[in-house]
A and B are shown apart, each in its own frame.
Chain A
Amino acid sequence: MLLLLFRLSFLSFFPSLSLSQHFAPTGTKPHQRISVSLNFKQRKQREEKRRMMMKLDTSGLESFSAAVPSAMAAAEDQLFAPPSFDLPAGCADFDKFQMEAKQTLKHAKGTTTLAFIFNQGVIVAADSRASMGGYISSQSVKKIIEINPYMLGTMAGGAADCQFWHRNLGIKCRLHELANKRRISVTGASKLLANILYSYRGMGLSIGTMIAGWDEKGPGLYYVDSEGGRLKGNRFSVGSGSPYAYGVLDNGYRPDMTVDEAHELARRAIYHATFRDGASGGVVSVYHVGPNGWKKLSGDDVSELHYKYYPVQPTPVEHEMVDAPPA
C-alpha cells in the first residue's frame, strides 16, 4: 500500500494524445480487419489503451489486476504508464513544419543592389551582407558578378542560384561570341538568362538580378528575375533594401552627371539602404561600365561611411556640475 502511494506521488497527469493511431489503418474495409476474441481482462486493457495511448500492455506480465479488485485498476493505469510528452510543436503535421522551417531560412532577397544608366555609361553598386533569417552569415559576399569584361550581373536572392546561373550565362555568352564572331548584346544576354529562368519557374529558384553592360548600341540595363520577368530600364534597385535606395537614387539622379557624381550617388544610396535595412550591410562596391568595359571604382565599409557622412559632433554636457558659487 505504501509502495503504491509512493509511486503515485511521482506521477503527473498527461493529457491524452490523438487517437488516430488506434483506429484501423485507413484503406482497410471492415471485413479485412482481423477480429480477435478477447477475455474480460484483455478487453478492459484494450479500452484503457484507447484512453491512454502510451500505456504499456501488461497483459503478459503478472499484474496487480489479477490479485487486486477492479477499483485499483484505475490507479494501475497511471502506475504503469511510462512518462509521456506532448509531441513538439509542428510535428503533428511534419510537411507543413518543414515548409515553415524552410521559409524562415529562405533569403527572401535580403540585400540591396542598384544600377542606373547615365550619359557616361552604367553604374552598378551593391552591398555585401548575406543573412539567413536573423543571422548574418557573411559580411563580405561579392554581389556584383563579372560575366565578361564588358558585362556585369548583380546578385539578389539565393547566392548559389545567382552565382551558378551568372556563370552559366557567361559560358553561353562566350559560346555566342565564338559561334558568331561578335560580342553578344546586353539584350541578347538578358533574354538568354530570362528564358532559362522562365523554364525553371515554380521550382524554387530565387534570383533578382540586373544585367548591365555596354554593347554596340551603347549602355544597356535589364532587370531579370526568377519569376520570369524581364524589364528594360534606366534605373533599377533590387532587394529588401531597394525601396530605401530608390528614395535616395531617384532624388539625386540626373542624366548628365559626371562619373564621380554618379559614383557618389550610388554609394550614398546603398549606404542609406544599409542604414535602414537589417539585411543589408558590409561593404559598398561600386562599378562603372564604360565603352571599354567595366572597372571597379570603390569598395567602402558602410560603418566607416557612416562616420564620414555624419561625423561625431562634440556634444556639450547637458548639466555640467559646477561648484556652488561662493556665498
Chain B
Amino acid sequence: MECVFGLVGKGFAIVAADTSAVNSILVHKSNEDKVMVLDSHKLLGASGEPGDRVQFTEYIQKNVHLYQFRNGIPLTTAATANFTRGELATALRKNPYSVNILLAGYDKGVGPSMYYIDYIATMHKIEKGAFGYGSYFCLSMMDRLYHPDMSIEEAIELIDKCIIEIRTRLVVAPPNFVIKIVDEDGAREYAWRESIKSPDVSMA
C-alpha cells in the first residue's frame, strides 16, 4: 500500500513516496509527508506501521543532529546508513520496528548515494530501489529504463512514469506523491504529484 522508491542520478539522488495515511479502509489524510529531511544533505524515505515510522525516523534524525552538535561535523551517508541499520538490528530480536527505509544523501567528494534498509535490518547500497506494493511495478520499469548518470529531467521523467504505472495498475493506488531531491545544494522538496486535492484550509 505504501510506496517509496528512488534512484541515483548524476550528482543527485531522488526519493519519492506516496502521501496517504490509511487505517484499514479509511484514508485519514492524503498529504502525509513520509520523506524526512535528516539534515542538510540527507533524505530518509520510510514506509511501515505509522507509530514505528514516525518514532524511528525521528529518533534517527535526532541522533544525526546530536552527532553534528557533539563533533562539529556531519555524519556521512554511509555512516548514517550503518547507524540506522545497527539500531534496527539491535531492536530486531527484542522490540522490532516495522519500517522500511530508503536513505539518500550527498557527500562532498563521494557524490550521491542511496541505501536500502529493510525492516529486518538488511542493508544494501543501491542505485535504484523501491518498497511496498508499488515496487512490483516500479522495480522492473527502473531496471529497464534506468541508466547511470541520468540528468534531473530524465530522472523525474522516470519517476513520473513509475507513479503513472502505480496509479494505473495498483488496485488501492495512493492518489498523491511527494518527490524530494538531494544534491550538492542540499536536500529539499522537489514536487508534489497530486491527483486529489482536498479543499482544506492551508496546511501548516
A106 contacts which chain B residues (CB < 8 A)? none
A294 contacts which chain B residues (CB < 8 A)? none
Instruction: Report B185-204 CB contacts with A as 1/0, cut-off 8 Å.
Output: 00000000000000111011
- On whether the beta carbons of B201 and A119 are closer than 8 Å, the reply is yes
- Rounded to whole angstroms, the CA-CA distance of A242 and B32 in the bound complex is 20
A291 contacts which chain B residues (CB < 8 A)? none
Given the interface pairs A117-B201, A223-B28, the reply to whether A228 lies near B21 with Cβ below 8 Å is: no
Chain A interface helix/strand/loop/mixed: mixed
B55 at the interface (CB under 8 A from A): yes
B51 contacts which chain A residues (CB < 8 A)? 194, 197-198, 201, 227-230
B107 at the interface (CB under 8 A from A): no
Identify which of A227, A231, A255 contacts B29 (C-beta below 8 A). Answer: A231
- On whether the beta carbons of A229 and B25 are closer than 8 Å, the reply is no
Residues of A in contact with B, size category: 20 to 34
- On whether the beta carbons of B199 and A228 are closer than 8 Å, the reply is no
B26 at the interface (CB under 8 A from A): yes
- Rounded to whole angstroms, the CA-CA distance of A255 and B198 in the bound complex is 11
B160 at the interface (CB under 8 A from A): no
Residues of B in contact with A, size category: 10 to 19
- On whether the beta carbons of B201 and A118 are closer than 8 Å, the reply is yes
Identify which of A195, A233, A253 contacts B28 (C-beta below 8 A). Answer: A233
B157 at the interface (CB under 8 A from A): no
Closest to A223 in B: B28
Residue from the set A217, A225, A231, A255 with the largest chain B CB neighbour count within 10 Å: A231
B29 contacts which chain A residues (CB < 8 A)? 231, 233
Given the interface pairs A223-B28, A236-B28, the reply to whether A229 lies near B199 with Cβ below 8 Å is: no
B contact residues vs A (CB 8 Å cutoff): 21, 23, 25-26, 28-29, 32, 49-52, 54-55, 199-201, 203-204
A-B CB contact pairs (8 Å), 20 listed:
A194-B54, A217-B204, A227-B51, A228-B51, A228-B55, A229-B21, A229-B23, A230-B50, A230-B54, A232-B203, A233-B28, A233-B29, A234-B200, A234-B201, A236-B28, A242-B26, A243-B25, A243-B26, A253-B199, A254-B199
* CB-based closest 3 A-B pairs: A228-B51, A229-B50, A234-B200
